[in-house]
Each structure stands twice: as structure tokens, then as C-alpha cells.
Amino acid sequence: MNITIVGTGYVGLGTAIMLAYLGYQVTGLDSDEGKISSLKAGALPIYEPGLDDLLQAASPNLRWTTQYSDAIPDADFIFVCVGTPPLPDGHPNLQYLEGAVRSIAQHLDGKPQIIVNKSTVPIGTGDWVLRILEEHAALYATSHYEVVSNPEFLREGTALGDSLYPDRIVLGGSSWATGQMRTLYAPLIEQSFEAPAHVPRPRGYERPAVVETTLTSAEMIKYSANAFLALKISYANEIAGLCECVGADIHEVAAGIGLDHRIGTRFLAAGAGWGGSCFGKDTSALITTGQDYGYSMPILRAAMTVNERQRSLVIEKLQKHVRLLKGKRVAVLGMAFKPDTDDLRDAPAHDFILRLGRLGATAVAYDPVAMPRARREWTHLHYVEAVSASAALAGADAVIVATEWSEFRSLNWEEVLATMRGRVVIDARNIIREPLAAPAVLEQIGREQPQSAFLPASGLAAVKVGA
């Protein structure tokens, strides 16, 4: 089977390399000539742990091109993995998808070919794609072209494990098309491939569930799953706020409720809220879809409101201790929206840096991976780059932990606090689990820390710990 992947972003690259590793001949297609040149040279345009090693292993089965004429005619399966960013009103922007599908249609060669939509798209997009094919494919009337919705459920930072060992594979389309997809995914379904040494098969993992359904239901599954996870995080953050009011610890509360198998422990971490390319966009898309049909979704709206509030809450905690931020130096640890990725889309750190600048403070930012991407994508922000976490904290009046990188968890806080001027720590990711062994103010989300025996060097009369 020959496979073409249209779009080489986070989803497209991971899909292309995974399928090539499974033994298929895969062509990666992208209009960005710089990106394709880098891939031809073996350089990845994104950061994902272990993806470079899998690329090297799969490279004999991979080729890269910018030409639809070079990638579409011979393909049996054409995966569409282009971006669908949100418009100001919350609807997804489908211009990139429409352009890709039109170009695909113009190069289909008349044999049975399956167009697989992995882009996150509004409900009903599969039928719309079929109409585009009908209008622009020269041999549509005498050929067998099918559209399948095959949403991805990858988490950046763990995308390889999620790809090779999925909990479910969702296939929406006709019975013939989903049957073809079952054949394509047989190595994953049967787990018959040799696991890469750097991405071992999880202990106890057997086979993924396969959900065969309609195009519409598959599209709804993707949106509904992401919106539910966003809702779960916002719920944890709302409970965290009440924990601060009554003196409870959100870690203990989340652990206690998560042990109920009906709820589960995942996505109950309180903090600065969710970011990235999926949760906000997909939740907004569901809300706007409801609006299109005159159907209100107040629970999802509340989830969005709580998430926005969390970002303001972090700055409010900072202002409680550093009254006037004008002229102050504030370190921001972490720029990516989550650890183990360089993805900056909807990252809380962006909002922190923006707000600090408006309040007259100087933001000094450090991220182990995402700083080169930030230089390209955050040119509208004003901040100072630091070469390390310790360099960011040196001379700072306060620090905001914006991303829970393991490097920050293992930071020698006693040592770096001694280099700070103000010693105010706003731990927006709750990574500090023990009392700070140095004079400092520590604020976290939904929990209090046992008080330190030290007094802050900044002149405060007592150590204020927690909310």
C-alpha cells in the first residue's frame, strides 16, 4: 500500500513516520518548502521525544515532496492532516482543508482511493469533502473515492506511545472504506509489529478497541472527547479554588476522587489551565456548532470561563505579594503549553508574559526546548531570554512556574532562591511538593504548603505560604 500524508505538522509527521515504521511506503506532502527541505535532510521541524529515532528507523520507507502531482496519483490512502485553527467567532477555519482537498481531487487517478481525514473538523465536514471531490475530481463519476474520518487522540510529548499503542481507533465511513482501514491498521490492531526499543510496548497492553461508525459520529467523537477532557481540567481548577477557601489540598482531593473508576485520576491536575491546539479550539467548535442549531451548551461555556480565570488568577497571586509590578523583574519558567513539546499554541506562559509587559514588568523567560520556536512565533511579545532556569531567577523579584518540565521539578530551589531579589514563587503547576528550605513566599493552586521556619529576606513580617 502507498500512503500520502498531506500536512507535516504534529499530527501529520507522527502519522507518516509511524506508518513508515510499520512497513508502508509513505510520502509526506507539504507546501512549506523549508520544512520539506529540512525533512529531506533528516531534521525534524518539531520537538517530540523519540520521534527523531523513529524517523531514522523508518527513513527507507519515507519520502518528502511539495508537489501534489508527485504524491497523490499513486496513493491508495491519502491522509489529510492540515491545520484547522479557530476563527474569532469560534468556528474552525477550513480554508487550508478546502485547499488541500481541492488539490487532492485534481490529482486523483481514477482507481479506488480513500481520503482519510485526520484533521479535527466540524461535524458534517466528511460530507462536505465528498462534495469537493465530486466537483473537482475529473474521474469522480466513474471512480470509487471514499472519505473516512479517522480522528487522532495523540498527546504531544507522548505521541509515539499514543500512536503505536492506542486505546482506541475510530473509523467513520462506509463499511467498505472502514474495512480497508482495518486492513491498513492491522499491525496496530493485532500489535504484530516489533516494538521500538525506545518506545516499548506498555506492560499489560494487548489490543486497541476499534470503533466503526458513521462519518458524523466519528467527527463528534473527536470533539466530544477533547471537550470532556477540557471540562475535567476546568472542574479540577474550580474545586482547587474552593480548596483554597476552606484549607483543603487539591492534590489529596483529586487523588481521592480519581480513585473512583468512573472518574479516573487523569486530567484532574489543577494549575494554570489547559492550552495547546486542541482543547480550547475543539470546545469552542462544539459550542459554535450548538449555536448553529440554536442549542446552548452552558457546561462547556463554563469550562472555557474557568480556564480563562486560571490565567488571571496566577497574575492576581503575583500582585498580592509584589504590589507594583512596574520596574520589577519576573522570571517565567516554561513557555511551551506542556512539557516535552515545543508547541506554543494557547500556552499560558504567553498570557503571563503579555500581562507582565502591560503592567510594566520585565519578563525573563526560559524553556528547555521551546525558545527557538518562540523567537519565530512570539515576536509580538517583549521578554528577555535566559540561558537556564537559574539564570532566569538571578536578580528576579518573583518567578512564575508556567510549565511543569521535569527540570524545574528537580531545581535546587534553596540555591536559586538565594540569587533572587524578591523571593516570591508563584507555582502555577504545583510542582513544589515540600516546604521551601529558604526564606520565600510560595503560592500554589488549590493547596497550602507547611510553613517554612525561615522569614523572607524581602522584609515581610511572616512567611505567607499557599493561598
Q: Is 146 annotated as a binding residue?
A: no
3-state secondary structure the chain: CEEEEECCCHHHHHHHHHHHHCCCEEEEECCCHHHHHHHHCCCCCCCCCCHHHHHHHHHHHEEEECCHHHHCCCCCEEEECCCCCECCCCCECCHHHHHHHHHHHCCCCCCCEEEEECCCCCCCHHHHHHHHHHHHCCCHHHCCEEEEECCCCCCCCCHHHHHHCCCEEEEECCHHHHHHHHHHCHHHHHCCCCCCCCCCCCCCCCCCEEEEECHHHHHHHHHHHHHHHHHHHHHHHHHHHHHHHHCCCHHHHHHHHHCCCCCCCCCCCCCCCCCCCCHHHHHHHHHHHHHHCCCCCHHHHHHHHHHHHHHHHHHHHHHHHCCCCCCCEEEEECCCCCCCCCCCCCCHHHHHHHHHHHCCCEEEEECCCCHHHHHHHCCCCCCEECCCHHHHHCCCCEEEECCCCHHHHCCCHHHHHCCCCCCEEEECCCCCCCCCCCCCEEECCCCCCCCCCCCCCCCCCCCCECC
**pLDDT computed for residue 458 by the predictor:** 39
Instruction: Read off the pLDDT of residues 306-345 as tens digits, 9 standing for 90 and up.
Output: 999 999 999 999 999 998 999 999 999 999 999 999 999 9
120 belongs to an annotated ligand binding site: yes
Q: Say whether 320 counts as a known binding-site residue.
A: no
Instruction: Read off the pTM.
Output: 0.86
* Residue 373 is assigned to a ligand binding site: no
Report, as an integer, the average pLDDT of 441-460: 62
pLDDT band, very low/low/confident/very high, at 182 (cuts 50, 70, 90): very high
Residue 134 has pLDDT above 70, yes or no: yes
- 271 marked ligand binding residue: yes
pLDDT in tens, 99-115: 999 999 999 988 899 99
So which residues are the catalytic ones?
Answer: 278
pLDDT tens digits, residue range 378-423?
999 999 999 999 999 999 999 999 999 999 999 999 999 999 999 9
**Domains annotated on the chain, with CATH:** 2-212 (3.40.50.720), 222-306 (1.10.1040.10), 309-443 (3.40.50.720)
Determine whether the annotation assigns residue 252 to a binding site.
no
